[in-house]
Amino acid sequence: MKCSDLGEFELIARLARTLPHDPSVVGGVGDDCAVLRSRDPSRYLLFKTDPVIEGTHFVFRCSKKTKVPPATPFQVGWKAMARNLSDIAAMGGVPRWALVSLGLPAQTDVKAVDGIYRGLNACASQFGALIVGGDTSQTSDKLFVVVSLVGEVEKNFLKLRSAARAGQRVFVTGALGGSRRHKHLTFTPRVEEARWLAKNFPVAAMIDVSDGLAGDLRRLSEKSRVGFDILADAVPVSAAAEKMSRTDRRSPLGHALRDGEDFELLFTMDANYADDLLRRWHRKFALPLASIGVVTKFPDRIRFIGAPTSEVTGYEHFR
Amino acid sequence: MKCSDLGEFELIARLARTLPHDPSVVGGVGDDCAVLRSRDPSRYLLFKTDPVIEGTHFVFRCSKKTKVPPATPFQVGWKAMARNLSDIAAMGGVPRWALVSLGLPAQTDVKAVDGIYRGLNACASQFGALIVGGDTSQTSDKLFVVVSLVGEVEKNFLKLRSAARAGQRVFVTGALGGSRRHKHLTFTPRVEEARWLAKNFPVAAMIDVSDGLAGDLRRLSEKSRVGFDILADAVPVSAAAEKMSRTDRRSPLGHALRDGEDFELLFTMDANYADDLLRRWHRKFALPLASIGVVTKFPDRIRFIGAPTSEVTGYEHFR
């Protein structure tokens, strides 16, 4: 059997099944980051790695077939850092230290490497992370950048995927879909917003939307053993998703539900706080925040009310 | 200018020059691991990432040109973990948590992925590290495994490359050269030996020999601003280096000095402790330990007494 027959999630699940349990691990495979008991009794360490690979997560040259716009080296570095920051944010945490592993084809222009470093540093410093080391290796074909990130979170601010409960409201930041037109290379990881949420509101479950809203609701559903009723009309659809739907056969909502790499925050919270949250959020941030539905008690039942059921499958890298 | 014109060390140095300084970083680019001030006043965090790339660090099929033996998936996983463990060991530290990032061509057999996971887990568990998460992504061509490892070290056990001082003796474990015949896929990271050394002796500088003895002496020399007089006859030459020298035009010593991926410990220590060290070492470990020379006060002067000067260049991945 080939990897392409299994899909990314199943490949990760195979790894998860082989791992021993240990009291130092609060959460691990299956959440945005590993959550580790450090020697500080008030905080957990967060630990995450996520690669950016030429041809999979970006292209340097425009492909006529996929019409994906090419990335600059700066954008490749930015994205490689921002993806990891987004995962630390989704746990309610603060990024601290990053390492960079670069795989470079021998013919790579050194200027491109410098551009990648600039993008990595710009993104890290904007969000309070520090690059503390790196490594380069030669690869024969496609360039890759793997960032590893250590962060920390006060124990009472930790947000897990498993904390959604029936009756809670569901919220999502920003606008979804069509990220590969541009946003996936330049997006803002929601570190500041997530910290503000964790400090000011009793957010229950939180995740960053990286595999499409439908796919990431599925993940929350599995971890929390709940279902979701989402109002299709309430899902914030990006202008890029609208544009893409004009040239392909998919609806703007389809893009918003299934496209990957939005890197927005998706979270649940007791309905009583919803009005206060929305009022204070809009005073504080220009970024949209939408209340898109409710958590239900039916595990694995994810309904998009008002949307065709053909549009609810999540995005995976392997297919 | 292409990356192949610069070499791996210069590419890493270019990154190092762009990084901001921060009081939380005790050591970083230029040592085996990043050394970070954690909230525990008695310990540092160690943080390392190191990739293993098909075609660069291993092959799945034997190449007639290079005669490098092919790796099993288990060995690929083992090597990816062991390289990082070796770096934690060289700082005097204890490995704790690992993350795995896999880049997989779509046609990769799932059995190979399972084999890689088995190798990763076998190596991690043997040396006290815990895999706490992972990620898979599709790559178009060559498989890669990037392990990121967090460890810790008591402040008084930390070993840096910068601590070599004139007059100290130089020691190396094991036997050097010819690793790519076999050892680079199955080697034992010297975690136990390094901890024993750090706990029992006033080891000064320590490094793992990953780019050839000559290359890693150069690194110690740069960081400590010292020189080395090494007795060529005292350098332990592996049986694999002897074998390789029969079929190529290089001497066994040339292999021992310049081949990469030995993953042995190279360290310096006050000469007064040498006899006691060697006596106690041989009682404790079957692994050889050789006293190979002395630290001198002449920065950048690395002499191999009794060896032709043509054999002192370090190994780099890019060339």
Q: In A, residues 35-54, which contact B (CB 8 Å cutoff)?
A: 36, 38-40, 43, 45, 47-51, 53-54
Given A157, A186, A213, which residue is the final one in a domain? A157
Based on the structure, what is the number of domains in chain A?
Answer: 2
Q: SS3 for B159? A: coil
Calpha distance A52→B12 (Å, rounded): 19
* Whether residues A145 and A171 fall in one domain: no
Q: Residue B275 — φ and ψ, nearest 5°?
A: -60, -45
Q: What is the pLDDT of residues A70-107, one digit of tens each?
A: 999 999 999 999 999 999 999 999 999 999 999 999 99
Distance from CA of B316 to the nearest CA of A (A): 10
How confident is the model at residue A30, as a pLDDT? 67
* Whether residues A197 and A116 fall in one domain: no
Mutation target vs B (from A61, A86, A131, A145; most B CBs, 10 A cutoff): A131
Nearest to A135 among B51, B133, B144 (CB): B51
Q: Does B316 fall in a domain?
A: no
Distance from CA of B254 to the nearest CA of A (A): 23
- Judge residue B100's burial from the number of C-beta atoms within 10 Å of its C-beta, 0-12 exposed, 13-18 middle, 19 or more buried: buried
* Whether residues B211 and B294 fall in one domain: yes
Give the contacts of A251 (CB within 8 A, at least 6 positions apart).
A245, A311
> Does B12 touch chain A if contact means CB atoms closer than 8 Å?
yes
* Whether residues A185 and A68 fall in one domain: no
Q: What is the pLDDT of residues B101-123, one digit of tens each?
A: 999 999 999 999 999 999 999 99
**Residue A16 — very low, low, confident or very high, per pLDDT cuts 50/70/90?**
confident
* Whether residues B152 and B240 fall in one domain: no
Calpha distance B158→B172 (Å, rounded): 18
Angle between helices A191-200 and A73-90 (to 10 degrees): 10
| pTM of the predicted model as reported, rounded to 2 decimal places | 0.92
ipTM: 0.89
Which of B186, B190, B197 lies closest to B174 in space, CA to CA? B190
Q: In B, residues 130-189, which contact A (CB 8 Å cutoff)?
A: 130-142, 144, 146, 148, 150
Nearest to B99 among A5, A34, A55 (CB): A34
Residue where the block lists tokens 């998009």: A304
Which of A234, A297, A241 lies closest to A266 in space, CA to CA? A234
* Whether residues A39 and A141 fall in one domain: yes
* Whether residues B56 and B96 fall in one domain: yes
> Does A8 touch chain B if contact means CB atoms closer than 8 Å?
yes
Q: Residue B164 — φ and ψ, nearest 5°?
A: -75, 135
How confident is the model at residue A316, as a pLDDT? 42
Which of A242, A182, A218, A239 lies closest to A302 in space, CA to CA? A218
Range of the domain at B41: 3-157
Task: Tell me, rounded to whole angstroms, the distance of Cα A11 from its chain centroid.
Answer: 18
| B20 has pLDDT over 90 | no
How confident is the model at residue A314, as a pLDDT? 45
Residue B285 is which amino acid?
A: F
B contacts of A154 (beta carbons < 8 Å): none
CB atoms near residue B243 (< 10 Å): 14
| A317 has pLDDT over 70 | no
Task: Tell me, rounded to whole angstroms, the distance of Cα A167 from its chain centroid.
Answer: 24
Q: Does B92 fall in a domain?
A: yes
Q: What is the pLDDT of residues A126-160, one digit of tens each?
A: 999 999 998 889 888 899 999 999 999 999 999 99
Residue where the block lists tokens 């037109």: A181
CATH number at residue A285: 3.90.650.10
Mutation target vs A (from B130, B211, B318; most A CBs, 10 A cutoff): B130
Write out the H or E segment, with its range, that includes residue A186: helix A183-186
Q: Which residue of A has its CA nearest to B22?
A: A130
Beta-carbon separation of A148 and B99 below 8 A = yes
Which of A167, A172, A310 lies closest to A235 in space, CA to CA? A172
Nearest to B1 among A3, A110, A136 (CB): A110
Write out the H or E segment, with its range, that includes residue B207: strand B203-209
Given A115, A132, A157, which residue is the final one in a domain? A157
CATH number at residue A106: 3.30.1330.10
Write out the H or E segment, with its range, that includes residue A265: strand A264-269
Query: How is residue A317 annotated by DSSP?
Result: S
How confident is the model at residue B319, as a pLDDT? 34
Given B157, B181, B198, which residue is the final one in a domain? B157
Beta-carbon separation of B56 and A2 below 8 A = no
Q: What is the dihedral of CA B300, B180, B12, A139, to 10 degrees?
A: 150
